[in-house]
Amino acid sequence: MAEPIERTERESPAPEDESTLVARAKRGDLSAYDELVKRYQERIYATIYHMTSNHEDANDLAQESFVKAFHALKSFKGGSTFYTWLYRIAVNKTINFLKQRKNRQSMSLNDLDFNTEHDPDLVALISEKTPRREAGLTELQEKLNEALLKLSEPHRLVVVLHDVQGQSHEEIAKVMHCNIGTVRSRLFYARQQLQAHLADYLQK
């Protein structure tokens, strides 16, 4: 008879529904909010990091976004998913920060992981067709981040969310409070700008 109980104890608890966690967090349950932070921390951090190209700034802004979201939870009515709502807070905070930082941009780039050299996209890129094929990955990383920082914040955000993080046009439109047509046109313009800045590093 004890067997079923033993099995239940060994099983990991089923992941709690997001709305349940949000409801608990609204009541001040920090363990529920801790779970929500763990779910979205990587995506929120990555978006901010790709927008700022600075790990320390991204760390501060990501933490502040989660703290602000917790204090603003009572105003969250559930009109969108918690994730979209949280994303908006993080994006607005980051854009405000970048406007302040405009004249003192400094990069503090994260290291590349061990799989970088085996990425099929990058293997295809660094080929005989690439004019600057002698350029190392670190140099490419630096040039790419410099080119991204030359874009305006809305254009950079669209590129980061779509081409780096793989979000759909619809999701981006929700986060940026604009229509899908605007997202598409911004994406096209931003890619053109990046292409011009990185012409030496792209295949022809």
| Shortest Å, Cβ 77 to another protein | 21
| Cα 184–Cα 188–Cα 189 angle in degrees, nearest 5 | 120
How many C-beta neighbours within 10 Å does residue 68 have?
15
54 bridge partner residues = 108
Using CB under 8 A, which of the segments 5-13, 44-52, 81-89, 149-157 binds another protein? Answer: 44-52
Q: Which helix (H) or strand (E) holds 18?
A: helix 18-26
Binding to another protein by residue 202, rule CB under 8 A?
yes
Per the structure block, which two tokens stand in for 66? 């989660």
Using CB under 8 A, which of the segments 7-15, 81-89, 178-186, 192-200 binds another protein? Answer: 192-200
Please select the residue that binds another protein; options are 89, 149, 178, 198, rule is CB under 8 A.
198
Please state, in angstroms and rounded to a whole number, the distance separating the CA atoms of residues 87 and 82. 8
Binding to another protein by residue 95, rule CB under 8 A?
no
Q: List all residues 6 or more positions away from 105 whose beta carbon is below 8 Å from its beta carbon.
A: 53, 149
CB closer to another protein, 34 vs 170: 34
| Shortest Å, Cβ 176 to another protein | 19
Binding to another protein by residue 185, rule CB under 8 A?
no
Binding to another protein by residue 180, rule CB under 8 A?
no
Per the structure block, which two tokens stand in for 204? 């022809």
Please state, in angstroms and rounded to a whole number, the distance separating the CA atoms of residues 56 and 54. 6
The residue type found at 56 is E
Interface residues with another protein (CB under 8 A)? Answer: 30, 33-34, 37-38, 41-42, 45, 49-50, 55, 59-60, 62-64, 66-68, 70-71, 99-100, 109-113, 115-116, 119, 121-122, 124-125, 137, 140-141, 144, 159-160, 163-164, 191, 194-195, 198, 201-204
